[in-house]
Amino acid sequence: MVAVAILAAGRGTRMKSDLPKVLHQLGGRTLVQRVLESCVRLQPSRRLVIVGYGADLVRDSFQQTDTQPTLEFVEQTEQLGTGHAIQQLLPYLKDFTGDLLVLNGDVPLLRPDTLEQLIKIHKENGNGATLLAAHFPNPTGYGRVFCDSHNLVNQIVEDRDCTDAQRQNHRINAGVYCFNWPQLAKILPDLKADNDQQEYYLTDTVNYLDQVMAVDVEDYREILGINSRKDLANSYKVLQDWVKTNYMAAGVTIIDPDSVTIDDTVQLEPDVIIEPQTHLRGNTIIQTGSRIGPGSLIENSQIGKNVTVQFSVVSDSVVADGTRIGPYAHLRGHAKVGEQCRVGNFVELKNTEVGNRTNVAHLSYIGDAQLGNNVNIGAGTITANYDGVKKHRTTIGDRTKTGSNSVLVAPLTLGNDVTVAAGSTITDDVPDDSLVIARERQVIKPGWRLESPE
């Protein structure tokens, strides 16, 4: 039986931010959310998050996204150190007899496999505590782990408390521990704050516990901690490197990986091609044969098979098979475009459903509309969907064509097989099979000339 506790009460002074450190985002998810998600596979019996600085913000950040069993929030009103934070759990875990996995809220790249391994080794060896460590090329700022030849930990010394000689040890403490809770609970009240920061250090518990073992991770990058904006950027690079390597191994072409960013929540099918300067975010799915970019941003959208998207932005939208988007299109607010359509050249679609084989090819704003199949929207057609107070809908039937520079004043319905004359401002519904002209007739005055004032 394992319970999980996440340390998320610190401000993160070195971030120079009003936002609590653990709420900074890494590739579309907050640090603390990532840490919590790394534990999902362990199926913990309890999940406790220790909050303090910005407690309400941290609490609220979970409301929309987390679908797991209840999170318990434990308040640490004064942040007197990582050991003090864990002391706050004593009343909550009074009758708990299992192991407690403790994770710093600022170690967002942990892999679930690594945590499973940590717990396995902890149990096999009957340790008082087992912790993750690694040899860092640059260990500055991290606590150093001192072990005997059997990886049993003698002490952990924070960077600022190290002697010059101790600082030569590059083996660092990840801030990820599995504790035998009853053992830990017994010694927690004895922690002292006799260090440079005058804080109660969780790392000092290794001095009192029966047997503490260090487990080195294979790839040190997964235990990189985030203390500064620079760390955030470095970890993002690591994450991107892993994510793109995985997609490429699964059959995705990424022409210029350095110019592309992809969230690890995105799903890409084999034979998708990602062109340079393209960014894929959130819950995006892209199906096989599609070519995205150059210069595009896709977020929380579903892109079908054999779609092309060039120099365009697609948010919260759906695009079906064989459709061409761009250059310079903007789909947003639940636009849904059918198969074999063309949406291009300075066209914005908002909250609009488009049938199959329909084109909106040039210079249009289509909002709150429904377009049928085989519709042709002429260059410069605009839906006037907003009367200053409310939004109204426009419905356009199959095979209908709008002439260039038409204004469709909503609420409005154009039937099937309607033709709208160029330059019309349409304010009334138009029945099937009609031509509609709504503009001033052209007047020619032969021989007319401006009288010159002499």
Enumerate binding residues for Ca ion (CB under 5 A): 106, 225, 227
Q: Which of 181, 201, 311, 365 is in the footprint of ligand UD1 by CB under 6 A?
A: 201
Within 8 A by CB and 6+ apart from 188, the residues are 83, 86, 87, 90, 205
Q: Which of 320, 412, 302 has the alpha carbon at shortest distance from 368?
A: 412
Q: Which of 2, 22, 314, 382 is in the footprint of ligand UD1 by CB under 6 A?
A: 22
Segment contacting ligand UD1 by CB under 6 A, of 195-203, 244-252, 255-263, 350-358: 195-203
Rule CB under 6 A: is residue 203 a binding residue for ligand UD1? Answer: yes
Least Å distance between CB 306 and Ca ion? Answer: 46
Distance of CA 10 to the CA centre of its chain: 23
CA distance 396 to 354: 9
CA distance 371 to 408: 13
Segment contacting ligand UD1 by CB under 6 A, of 78-86, 180-188, 230-238, 341-349: 78-86
Is residue 334 part of the annotated active site? The answer reads no
Task: Using the structure block, give the residue that is written with the tokens 């044969």.
Answer: 289
Segment contacting ligand UD1 by CB under 6 A, of 171-179, 322-330, 390-398, 425-433: 171-179
Least Å distance between CB 152 and ligand UD1? Answer: 17
Rule CB under 6 A: is residue 227 a binding residue for ligand UD1? Answer: yes
Phi (first) and psi of residue 86, to 5 degrees: -70, -25
CA distance 282 to 301: 8
**CB-wise, 52 or 225, nearer to Ca ion?**
225
Least Å distance between CB 162 and ligand UD1? Answer: 11
Would you state the structure tokens that stand for residue 244, as one six-digit string? 């793109």
Segment contacting ligand UD1 by CB under 6 A, of 201-209, 373-381, 385-393, 408-416: 201-209
**CB-wise, 80 or 347, nearer to ligand UD1?**
80
CB atoms near residue 140 (< 10 Å):
9
Are the beta carbons of 296 and 280 closer than 8 angstroms? no
- DSSP one-letter code for 264: T
Tell me how far apart the terminal alpha carbons of the chain are, to the nearest angstrom: 103
Give, for 82, the enclosing helix (H) or strand (E): helix 82-87
Q: Which of 79, 125, 211, 300 is in the footprint of ligand UD1 by CB under 6 A?
A: 79
Q: Which of 170, 334, 362, 392 is catalytic?
A: 362
Are the beta carbons of 279 and 297 closer than 8 angstroms? yes
Q: Which of 312, 259, 252, 314 has the alpha carbon at shortest distance from 288?
A: 252
Burial class (CB in 10 A: 0-12, 13-18, 19+), 42: middle
**CB-wise, 227 or 283, nearer to Ca ion?**
227
Which of ligand UD1, Ca ion, none lies near 397, with the C-beta cut-off 5 to 8 A by kind? none
Rule CB under 6 A: is residue 158 a binding residue for ligand UD1? Answer: yes
- DSSP one-letter code for 452: P
Rule CB under 6 A: is residue 156 a binding residue for ligand UD1? Answer: yes
Q: Which of 27, 28, 44, 225 is in the footprint of ligand UD1 by CB under 6 A?
A: 225
Q: Which of 30, 33, 38, 82 is in the footprint of ligand UD1 by CB under 6 A?
A: 82
Catalytic residue positions, numbered: 362
Q: Can you give the binding site for ligand UD1, defined by CB under 6 A?
A: 7-10, 22, 50, 52, 76, 79-82, 84-85, 104-107, 142-143, 156, 158, 172-175, 201-203, 225, 227
